Chains A and B, each alone.
Chain A
Amino acid sequence: MALLERNEWYDIARNTNWTPTHVTEAELFPDVMTGAKGVPVEKWEVYDEPYKTSYPEYVRIQREKDAGAYSVKAALERSRMFEDADPGWVSILKAHYGAIALGEYAAMSAEARMARFGRAPGMRNMATFGMLDENRHAQLQLYFPHEHCSKDRQFDWAHKAYHSNEWGAIAARHTFDDLFMARSATDIAVMLTFAFETGFTNMQFLGLAADAAEAGDFTFASLISSIQTDESRHAQIGGPALQVMIANGRKEEAQKLVDVGIARAWRLFSLLTGTSMDYATPLEHRKQSFKEFMLEWIVGQFERTLIDLGLDLPWYWNQMIAEFDYQHHAYQMGIWFWRPTLWWNPAAGMTPDCRDWLEEKYPGWNDSFGKVWDVIIDNLLAGRHELTLPETLPMICNMSQLPICAVPGNGWNVKDYPLDYQGRTYHFNSEIDRWVFQQDPARYRDHMSLVDRFLAGQIQPPNLMGALQYMNLAPGEIGDDAHKYAWAEAYRNNPYQKKAA
């Protein structure tokens, strides 16, 4: 005799549902927390997680993974990566940590919700590991940036961002609260692990790890790859939950969760990843445009996953694909123009070579977005710096909490998509954002966007200074151009000429 194989006892460890008699099933699994969509418990018990692991395997493998990630960090602690890296790369790090670290911690709460309120024991066990994974990701992504605090005040935002009213932090909270933090266990399985993690974060992390290695930041590359191995395991919680729902006549409900999840994830993703890939990443390190990346991973891969599960493509699929051409370019202009309201220094990504690249990847870019950048460049070169800085706030979408924006210049298509609901007018960036609101207005109704708060007098004094104070941003940490405007000099007496096609 020796040790038993895992498969000899695994099913016993996930046979733990019982029939309560001192409280009702509905009390033990209240709908607000469980969200079982009316599928009875015995139907949930066929739930079969595709990626199986067990407690002893988990603690052993995770110990080894951490030994790897922390030893790479320790070995490279004295390297000059931070001093030598392109400032655009350092900005990506700051934006990433601030937007992600406490979001990962929130995901721990969401995994805990599945561990407590999931209707299938296999889901509860896998989510228990998922809860630990997200605990890990928060801790790693706080510990790693912490060493940079003493060099650069903006790294404080790895911890601080989510506790602030900085606009990007509001957008991140609104998105993540809606995707998972304030959702039932079943909704979390679909929206967090399937729509967000399987669809977006898995590939985001793969791409980011590759970019980090390319930029010479091996500490970050090893950190992100290590996190990704956890994600690819616990992201598989959602698939079987969708199968249970579809098999029990709840395809419509499942589809709606997926559609809302992808819509919300896409918006934030285009802000963070879209601008990182096409602007902040130094040109020589770019492998693919954001659009190419989206077409390969979301349209090529994730689309197939949706179909294989028996789901349809979201109704807005073509609209979303059309946005690959412009939405993140519009956000980049917003990020750069409103740069004092950031906790990182955005890279303009606007050298003549960058513009050639953008034109090649996004034909027509110079006739639309490029025209706005021409004005900015003229102002910078003429010393009219103040004209390149904001004095007011933009119109903000009541769903994404991001500026309402699209294509400027030739091809102008900026448009508000308003909705009157119970006496209040809401403003949205697109038909998709408005549709999300209409699916469950009670979730969003009395939330106030940054502009709503401004108009309600909550931001005083009512100017940029007041807004910065409201966002908890002060000189010493507010954003400025990553390259100190050096890139603009290339255009002095030498206006940009589009390359002949």
Chain B
Amino acid sequence: MNQPEILKPLKTWSHLATRRRKPSEYEIVSTNLHYTTDRPDAPFELDPNFGMAQWFKQNRNASPLKHADWNAFRDPDEIVYRTYNMLQDGQETYVLGLFDQFSARGHDAMLERTWAGSLARLYTPGRYLFHALQMGSAYLCQIAPASTMSNCAAYQGADSLRWLTHTAYRTAELAKTFGDIGFGQDERRYWETDPAWQGFRELIEKALVAWDWAESFTALNLITRPAVEEAVLRGLGQAARHNGDTLLGLLTDAQLADTQRHRRWAGALVKLALEQEGNREVLAGWVSKWEPLADAAIDAYCAALPDAPAVCAQAREATRAFRASIGL
């Protein structure tokens, strides 16, 4: 019988050791961490076919978007946990600084009452939408076929909680100046019934139940998020500046910095997928399925924005430009 060779220590994990260069901290701590993808027929070390196993076999392993090695995916920003916190602690220091400075100069008291009404209707109900995005990223985190994707989704989910937190903060603060127009009270009613929000609500409710991991990624990261970012962050920010609300404009700009990061890794994931023949058609099919819902959401929301007539067309165009920029 052949004697097996005696293994020697390596400079890094054996799965990274065949390459010729030293792995980065990002690669050491982020790559190939999902053991549940090792055996396609049995995701868990349990019965291969009970309910949860079926869920993963169907929605992750049997996705129509195929690739021989999803673990090849890399976050272009190479964010790891500790750099995420450094980055976002700095960003939060900036945002809290804005809140503090604008509060000190009596910003809210200088807002027009009609604009405050617009905020109660078009801004503060956004916390439901941001929270839904947070939930959507948490789903991708647990269902993605590569740990490098799950990590991006985890940080993205936290970013969405960040936006929700800013919104809750401002809701409470605005209620101090405008105690009688429903801040902190009426958001759920606006979110569930106001025509401005119904397109986004339909889009996100449906996107949240797109269980196939890749369709979920497409519906959320390539369709829903860009629509939210262009309408509810950029569009609203523009309307805010046109109504003397400098704070909200700066706040949405700060939030948009997160979206740049999200779009970079979403683009990298699409690029990886497009290496494989047949995937372009799969992605295109999903884009054409979801895009009309996003367009309707943008239209309904932007039509309600005061003093920002161009936003609607700009937002639709920007979402398409993003998709075009990543090859779709």
What is the CA–CA distance of A18 and B201 in the complex, to the nearest angstrom?
10
Report the Cα distance A15→B183, complex, angstroms.
13
**Bound Cα distance A32, B81 (Å):** 30
Least distance between B151 CB and chain A CB atoms (Å) = 6
CA distance A55 to B99 in the complex (A): 15
Check A66/B92 contact, CB under 8 A, given A27-B209, A102-B35, A131-B157.
no
Report A435-476 CB contacts with B as 1/0, cut-off 8 Å.
000000011111100000000000000000100010000111
Pairwise interchain contact A146-B142, C-beta atoms closer than 8 A: no
Q: Which residues of A contact B47 (CB under 8 A)?
A: 442-447
B171-194 CB mask vs A (1 if < 8 Å, else 0) is 111000000000010001001100
Residues of A with C-beta under 8 A to B184:
12
Q: Please judge, given known A-B contacts A55-B165, A128-B158, whether A28 and B33 are in contact too, CB under 8 Å.
A: no
Q: Interface majority SS on B: helix, strand, loop or mixed? A: helix
CA distance A177 to B38 in the complex (A): 14
- B49 closest partner in A (C-beta): A446
Is A355 at the interface (CB under 8 A from chain B)?
A: no
Q: Is B69 an interface residue (CB 8 A)?
A: no
In the complex, which residues 103-141 of chain A have their Cβ closer than 8 Å to any Cβ of chain B?
105-106, 108-110, 112-113, 115-116, 121, 124-125, 127-129, 131-132, 135-136, 138-139
B100 touches A135 (CB 8 A): no
Q: Of B5, B154, B209, which is within 8 A of A28 by CB?
A: B209
- Could you say which of A21, A128, A173, A465 contacts B1, with CB atoms under 8 Å apart? A465
B134 and A124 within 8 A (CB): yes
Residues in A whose Cβ lies below 8 Å from that of B28: 142-143, 146
| A83 at interface by CB-CB < 8 Å | no
Q: Which residues of A contact B33 (CB under 8 A)?
A: 102, 105, 138
Check: A60 CB closer than 8 A to any chain B CB: yes
User: Quick check: A159 and B15 within 8 Å, CB to CB?
Assistant: yes
Most B-side CB within 10 Å, residue of A8, A135, A136, A173: A135
Given contacts A13-B168, A116-B138, A136-B81, contact A28 B131 (CB under 8 A): no
Complex Cα distance A345/B193, Å? 64
* Residues in chain B near residue A447, CB distance under 8 A: 45-48
| Chain B hits for A163, CB < 8 A | 32, 35, 38
Cβ contacts under 8 Å, B14 to chain A: 156, 159-160
Q: How many residues of A contact B (CB 8 A)?
A: 88
Query: Could you list which residues of chain A lie within 8 angstroms of chain B, going by C-beta atoms?
Result: 1-4, 8-10, 12-13, 15-16, 18-23, 27-28, 32-33, 54-56, 59-60, 62-63, 66, 70, 102, 105-106, 108-110, 112-113, 115-116, 121, 124-125, 127-129, 131-132, 135-136, 138-139, 142-143, 146, 149-153, 155-156, 159-160, 162-163, 170, 173-174, 177-178, 181-184, 401, 442-447, 465, 469, 474-477
**Which of the residues A20, A115, A443 comes within 8 Å of B50, measured between beta carbons?**
A443
Given contacts A63-B86, A66-B85, contact A128 B138 (CB under 8 A): yes
Residue contact B11 to A183, C-beta cutoff 8 Å = no
A136 proximity list for chain B (CB < 8 A): 81-82
Contact B106 A1 (CB under 8 A): yes
B8 at the interface (CB under 8 A from A): yes
B127 at the interface (CB under 8 A from A): yes
Task: Say whether A132 contacts B154, CB under 8 Å.
Answer: yes
Tell me, in angstroms, the Cα distance from A220 to B12 when the chains sit together: 20
Q: A135 vs B147: C-alpha distance in the bound complex, in angstroms?
A: 10
The residues of A that contact B151 with a CB separation of less than 8 Å are 135
Quote the shortest CB–CB distance from B328 to chain A (angstroms). 25
Whether the Cβ atoms of B35 and A28 lie closer than 8 Å is: no
Name the one of B147, B162, B168 contacting A9, with C-beta atoms under 8 angstroms. B168
* Residue of B11, B51, B155, B158 touching A55 (CB-CB under 8 A): B158
In Å, the complex CA distance between A63 and B153 comes to 19
**Neighbouring B residues of A160 by C-beta, 8 Å:** 13-15
Provide the main secondary structure of the chain A interface: helix
List 16 additional contacts besides A135-B81, A150-B11; criterion CB under 8 Å.
Answer: A9-B172, A16-B164, A22-B202, A23-B209, A54-B165, A59-B84, A63-B89, A66-B85, A70-B82, A116-B135, A131-B154, A150-B10, A156-B10, A156-B14, A401-B45, A475-B4
Asked if A3 and B141 make an inter-chain contact with CB atoms under 8 angstroms apart, the answer reads no
Leading 3 A-B pairs by shortest Cβ distance? A476-B7, A173-B45, A115-B138
The smallest beta-carbon distance between A377 and chain B, in angstroms, is 28
Shortest Cβ distance from residue A464 to the other chain B in the assembled complex, whole angstroms: 12
For residue A63, which residues in chain B have a CB less than 8 angstroms away from its CB?
Answer: 82, 85-86, 89
Q: How far is the CA of A234 from the CA of B142 in the complex (A)?
A: 18
Q: Provided the pairs A1-B104, A16-B127, A66-B81 are in contact, do residues A474 and B4 lie with their beta carbons within 8 angstroms?
A: yes
Asked if residues A8 and B172 are in contact (CB atoms below 8 Å), the reply is yes
Q: Which of B4, B45, B127, B142 contacts A13 (CB 8 A)?
A: B127
- Asked if B205 lies at the interface with its beta carbon under 8 angstroms from chain A, I say yes
In the complex, 11 of the A-B residue pairs with CB atoms within 8 angstroms, ordered by the A residue number, are A3-B96, A21-B201, A56-B89, A59-B85, A139-B80, A142-B29, A160-B15, A173-B35, A173-B44, A443-B50, A446-B49
State the Cβ distance, B302 to closest chain A Cβ, in Å. Answer: 20
Among B49, B162, B172, max chain A CB count under 10 A is at: B172
Residue of B nearest to A160 (CB): B14
CA distance A146 to B9 in the complex (A): 11
Question: Which residues on A sit within 8 Å (CB–CB) of B188?
Answer: 15, 18
Given known A-B contacts A153-B9, A475-B6, A181 and B36 have beta carbons under 8 A apart? yes
CA distance A275 to B208 in the complex (A): 45
B53 at the interface (CB under 8 A from A): yes
- Chain B residues whose CB sits within 8 angstroms of the CB of A170 once the complex forms: 45
Which chain B residues border A474 with CB–CB below 8 Å? 4-7
CB contacts (< 8 Å) of A155 on chain B: these are: 9
